[in-house]
Structure 1
Amino acid sequence: MRVVHLLGGGRLVNELGPRAVVHPKPLVGEQASFETDTYAKLFHDAHWAGLEPVGVEFYSHQMQATGEEPPEWKPYLRRFTSTWCCDDSAQKWAEIAHVAHQRKLALEWDLSRRIRYQLRTLSWRLFEVSQAYHNQLVGKLASGSFTDGGKFEDGFTAQMYLALHSFLIDACILRDYLADFIAKFILPKESGDFGRFKDMGQFRYKVLGPHKNEGGIASELWEATDENTNGWLAVLNAYRNIVVHSAPLEHAEARLFAQSYLAPFNGDRRIPAIRCPIPGDPISVKQARSSAADHKSFDELQQSYLMMARQEGYGVDGLEYVWSVAGRISAFSQQVSIRSHIEAQPITVTSKDTIGGFSYTTRN
């Protein structure tokens, strides 16, 4: 069985047969569903029906179905990179760590293990955001107050923003691990040993700066971290800084509300969905928040925050944004692994690696 997480908080459930069913059901009419010809065509047919998969829970044996073990979760990243890039990249870094351990390369082993762990963490953070959306969607429908274009705030809304906060922080931890690996093992030796840089600004100017015009990964990173051109890592950094240093995302600029809407399905049908907006221009918000805190009196600062709270913001959808970050940073981590001086090798286990030999069990 596969449970496909959809943009907007819905689920597409494909059990053993060809039928795939959308949950929750539409406000009017029959259950939304379609049939897929083959196992592999599920995602193609979902796209054809107007659905956007963001990840999949795979149930492959009975213990997962009964809750004794968790299903296998994988982000679905085909819009941005290869379909299972996050999992593939995590495996690649595990193989690099394995080789580094065999060669007794302490720092390479440590950093590779941390990158692999953080990719797994980011995958799970995406699951948590998607699950928070689903809970919000189900709760809003259960309340009987779901409307197309409705704006609201309830207990589930706070959980969506908390999940988004966690994703942004962990994404930047992964970014820092990758930057550390690049500085130590990929850029030319004349870059110098900067130890652990304090922030991305220091990494950008001290480590990347001397190589920004040379092409390759340094130039790519220089552009990605450029605030003036809204580089994708600069935008991610701004969101993270808002959360860590300024305010919750839903109150950082204007007041943001969850939004209910009807998404298209199979042409003329509509299915219920949810948006959770975050600020559309985080770099400007970060800069405004910093200057406000530094240069205003208490009364002025309080008044400016009250004015922001009275304004209604729109922003961009949080799940769609973090999904795109999962795709871009997974692809970037894969590029870094390819440039590593340690070639990844598949991990193999033989009788020499075990105590007591192998034993085999069969699952029903």
Structure 2
Amino acid sequence: MAVQLELIATAPMGLEAVVARELQQLGYTDTKVENGRVTFPGSLIDICRCNLWLRTSDRILIKMGEFEARTFDELFEGTKALPWQEFIPANGEFPVEGRSHKSQLSSVPACQGIVKKAIVEKLKETYHTEWFPENGPRYVIEVILLNDKALLTLDTTGPGLHKRGYRKHATEAPLKETLAAALIQLSRWNPSRPFYDPCCGSGTLPIEAAMIGWNVAPGLRRSFNSENWPVIPDSLWQEARDEAFDAFDDSIPLEITGSDIDPGAIEIAKAAAKAAGFAKEIKFEALPAARIQPSGEYGCLITNPPYGERIGEEKEVRKLIAQLGRLSVQLPTWSFFALSPTKTFESDFGRKADKRRKLYNGRIECQYYQFLGPLPPRRTE
């Protein structure tokens, strides 16, 4: 099969540029940023590397094709013309998912049915059989119709990339690991600076910081659908995993702390940190935000404070934000970062943010408030 593929790293809304920057740091310089995705050329081993390494993307897709589709006939013929047989074996399981927006073909179930039928016809020509057992490796196909154009993709990831494998339990409304990694990357924190999260919940932000600090590939502890695909040799996955193990560096000292008012959350966070391999490196403590005392200079406080959805809660959340504002005065060399939908955040904090960025936590529209302290002095050799 053709080695050169068009790959897509899907991105949560507002994080496309962060995903593109990650790809560029991994050596993928020819990127095209679009709404909700970053497209780039790659080969089979790049499927392995990107699934293992991308911290802020949701999944890695193969772009199978894109074409005009105003009628079911056009959708059928356009789908059938694509090289499905290069990926899907005779026993492959190939469910079809779909979305439609601003398109004449608006019935998603009907479009899914047409795409499935077209792929079956294509595979019949290759495998000379009328029946496919679908009891083998899984190939999730998605058809997206937008403005009468069909985009067909093949999902190489399986469960989303936020499922790192270290979190067995979670607190209510946990922060997705991919979003947590993005907040850290946007803060420009690095392991030479102290890190503190005073509303750590199940520990996602501190754990993601530790993984960045030690250069741990986030996908190292999990498996992916495409690991079972005959088209990708096991040797490529082994090569990519070996590279990731070689890049890991546990010699870097980490100063990472998470605290939360809920002792139950702290127990969950400690279990997750242990599963991720950071039981000794991350300090967790059950403390109300009013009592925290971050140590060190030029640190980063990064947090996702609770959202006040009821009247009593809102008052408590505003009080918490005010406490963080007072703490920022006591820690003049620290930078403070908070993801929150609270409209009064800046006035409660006590000053205007140096930067704001609109991001979505699930479907909740938030602002990422950034209060920037001085940068650490450059170390002289």
Structure-1-length-normalised TM-score: 0.28
Greater relative CO (CA pairs within 8 A, separation 6+): 1
Specify which structure has the higher proportion of strand.
Answer: 2
Q: Indicate the structure with greater helix content.
A: 1
